[in-house]
Amino acid sequence: MKPLLGTFYLLGMLVPGWLGYDRSLTQQRQEVVGKVVSPWRILETYPYNRYHPMGEIYQWMSEIREKYTEVVTQHFLGMTYESRPMYYLKISQPSNNPKKIIWMDCGIHAREWIAPAFCQWFVKEDRLWRKSRSSHNNGTCFGTDLNRNFDASWCSIGASHNCESLTFCGTGPMSEPETKAVSSFIESKKENIACFLTMHSYGQLILVPYGYTTNKSNNHEELIQVGQKAANALKAKHGTNYRVGSSADILYATSGSSRDWARDIGIPFSYTFELRDNGTYGFVLPETQIQATCEETMEAVLSVLDDVYEKYWYTNSAIKAKSTALVLSLLMSIMSLL
């Protein structure tokens, strides 16, 4: 993070929150949340090497916000299909200088537990710290794959119109409240967003656009180069191998992904991280692997941020802004889709 610390540094985090609850929903929620809050009470002892239910993540968010009131603010993003509010925490150094933004979301696919674990880890290291629930066909099947619901060649390939499918693309592009909320937020700030990262599992991959075509984006080589350097940094930590390439080339064809959408609206660096493992445990990655996974992913993300800073900020913005101090924002989200 060296180059970033040399600048003003902003970090934001999208989080679900508690306000605005319908009482009946709150009650349902309490049944889930009430029984799972584990014994930790203070931020300093929060076990980052464990998976936490949303109730605990909410509590962790609150403690982060309360402990760092000078740099952390909480904002409303939108509501989920089940009327749970989504909030983001914007973590920023007070500054009047122009700001740039990095987006990072974790957990848009609910079963990929290691992804939210990483977002929390990332916040800690900074010392600040599959489907949705919508109802279809008269309530006979549930859930849209939010990462097939973005407006990027929507539902053309690698997605299904059948609501019983795991990759159901929804009833139209951005038909889901969760994707609407994310996309309108990102859209409103896209001029200033240099990098979009979406964290998933599993497969040990760093994916660049596109999934809906084998055609390449106009900075494809640069994306691969930055991604490969990140994969090298990741491997240097614990020896874990990652592959780098476009989704269509090295994983499978997908349409309507947030990564492709972000690149299509002009965000230059857009990546999907598929974290550990390669299928041994799959989505149920053991807690004993959280720490190592987060440590190595940290190296990779920092490598990307370093490169974005060098390639984008320094060369583009610095020339335009000359002596204007540059500001980085990181926006991270943890989705509440359970």
The residues annotated with a catalytic role in the active site are: 274
**Smallest separation (angstroms) from Zn ion to the CB of 115:** 7
**Smallest separation (angstroms) from Zn ion to the CB of 30:** 28
The whole-angstrom separation of Cα 326 and Cα 65 is: 25
| 276 lies in the site for Zn ion, by CB under 5 A | no
Closest to Zn ion by CB, 109 vs 263, is 109
| 133 lies in the site for Zn ion, by CB under 5 A | no
Closest CA to 244 of 282, 218, 205, 277: 205
| 200 lies in the site for Zn ion, by CB under 5 A | yes
| 131 lies in the site for Zn ion, by CB under 5 A | no
The whole-angstrom separation of Cα 204 and Cα 23 is: 41
The whole-angstrom separation of Cα 22 and Cα 43 is: 29
CA dihedral 40, 45, 51, 57 (to 10 degrees): 70
| 90 lies in the site for Zn ion, by CB under 5 A | no
Closest to Zn ion by CB, 200 vs 263, is 200
The whole-angstrom separation of Cα 272 and Cα 129 is: 23
Closest to Zn ion by CB, 284 vs 325, is 284
**Smallest separation (angstroms) from Zn ion to the CB of 83:** 24
Q: What are the helix (H) ranges across the chain?
A: 2-5, 23-34, 54-67, 114-125, 177-189, 220-238, 247-250, 258-264, 290-308, 318-321
Q: Which amino acid belongs to residue 336?
A: S
Judged by CB under 5 A, which stretch of 32-40, 52-60, 65-73, 200-208 contacts Zn ion? 200-208
**Smallest separation (angstroms) from Zn ion to the CB of 145:** 9
Binders of Zn ion among residues 93 to 112 (CB under 5 A) are: 109
Are 146 and 131 in contact by the 8 Å Cβ rule? The answer is yes
The whole-angstrom separation of Cα 43 and Cα 45 is: 5
Closest to Zn ion by CB, 257 vs 329, is 257
**Smallest separation (angstroms) from Zn ion to the CB of 58:** 22
Are 249 and 243 in contact by the 8 Å Cβ rule? The answer is no
Judged by CB under 5 A, which stretch of 69-77, 196-204, 242-250, 286-294 contacts Zn ion? 196-204
Judged by CB under 5 A, which stretch of 177-185, 195-203, 204-212, 249-257 contacts Zn ion? 195-203
Which residues form the interface with Zn ion (CB under 5 A)?
109, 200
